[in-house]
Amino acid sequence: MAYLNANIPVIECYVRGNYLRDQKDSHDKYFTCTIFGFSSIPNSVPLFHFMMEDGGLWWRAPISAFCKRPGVKELPLDELMMWDCFSYNVAVTTFYELAGSKMKYISRRKKYREGTYLFTIDWCGGDFNELNFGYSEKPDQHKCGHVIELDDGNYAIQPNNRLRVFDPSMGNDPSKTLINRLVTSKTWSVEKTSKWITDEHEEGSYDYQLRELEEKNEQDN
């Protein structure tokens, strides 16, 4: 688990010149770069770190700053992303089952955009001594972000509920929804109950058993 800064699988691409010039000019310039990490800051989108051909380093550029090849039309940042970061605490995973998969998502403007899965960003709360001010661990609010290299040359980060994965081995048509899914609101746990206790035949017993407590009527004394 990383805090604030995290490594990612490197992405070799281009950075748009206007992001190197505070949006003042150079909108028609493109420079090769290697993205190697990002910062996760609440109330901000993931901000990526990269190195340029002259050895220059640049910190904290949004995903809209990058493209796969020169001349790619820049899309608004909110067309590429839905949500800001949930926490300073972040994990980066390339899921084997998804690696290289084709994905399609629907954007805020109801546009379908296709691309290839790269890796996943996910967030959680800090340790118990930190104030948990976010929603990263609330079942009905949590969202991860799948980083996608789009076919049009841009890059996007999208949550589960905005996209579909195309898997040739799956027999079903991914364009057809199998069921109207609802967001999970329940926290799943087997320890928050007064029904079971451990039953040790002697203190410190390794092979302890579980004993179900008899339900007692509140009127019984």
Report pTM.
0.82
Instruction: For residue 37, give the nearest of 68, 3, 64, 14 by alpha carbon.
Output: 3
> Is the pLDDT at 1 greater than 60, yes or no?
yes
DSSP state of 81: B
SS3 162: helix
| Structure confidence at residue 200 (pLDDT) | 58
> Is the pLDDT at 32 greater than 90, yes or no?
yes
Work out the number of other CB atoms within 10 angstroms of the CB of residue 62: 18
Q: What are phi and psi of 60, to 5 degrees?
A: 65, 65
| Structure confidence at residue 178 (pLDDT) | 74
| Structure confidence at residue 189 (pLDDT) | 74
Conformational region of residue 156, where left means phi above 0, alpha means psi within -120 to 50, and beta covers everything else: beta
Greater confidence (196 vs 39) lies with 39
Residue that has been written with the tokens 């340790």 in this structure: 127
Where do the H-state alpha helices sit in the chain? 77-80
Q: How far apart are the first and last CA of the chain?
A: 51
Predicted confidence (pLDDT) per residue in 73-113, tens digit: 999 999 999 999 999 999 999 999 999 999 999 999 999 99
| Structure confidence at residue 142 (pLDDT) | 78
Greater confidence (217 vs 19) lies with 19
| Structure confidence at residue 117 (pLDDT) | 98
| Structure confidence at residue 146 (pLDDT) | 98
Ordered DSSP codes for 2-21: EESEEEEEEEEEEEEGGGGT
Q: Which residues pair with 115 in a beta bridge?
A: 103, 150
Instruction: For residue 118, give the nearest of 107, 129, 103, 130 by alpha carbon.
Output: 103
Predicted confidence (pLDDT) per residue in 131-186, tens digit: 565 555 555 557 899 999 999 999 999 999 999 998 877 756 767 777 777 777 77
CA 63 to chain centre: 13
Sequence ranges of the domains in the chain? 2-166
Rounded-to-10 torsion of CA 20, 21, 23, 29: -70
> Is the pLDDT at 190 greater than 60, yes or no?
yes
- Confidence grade of residue 62 (pLDDT, cut at 50, 70, 90): very high
| Structure confidence at residue 167 (pLDDT) | 81
| Structure confidence at residue 215 (pLDDT) | 60
- Residues 48, 212: Cα–Cα separation, whole Å: 52
CA 137 to chain centre: 13
Calculate what percentage of the chain has a pLDDT beyond 90: 64
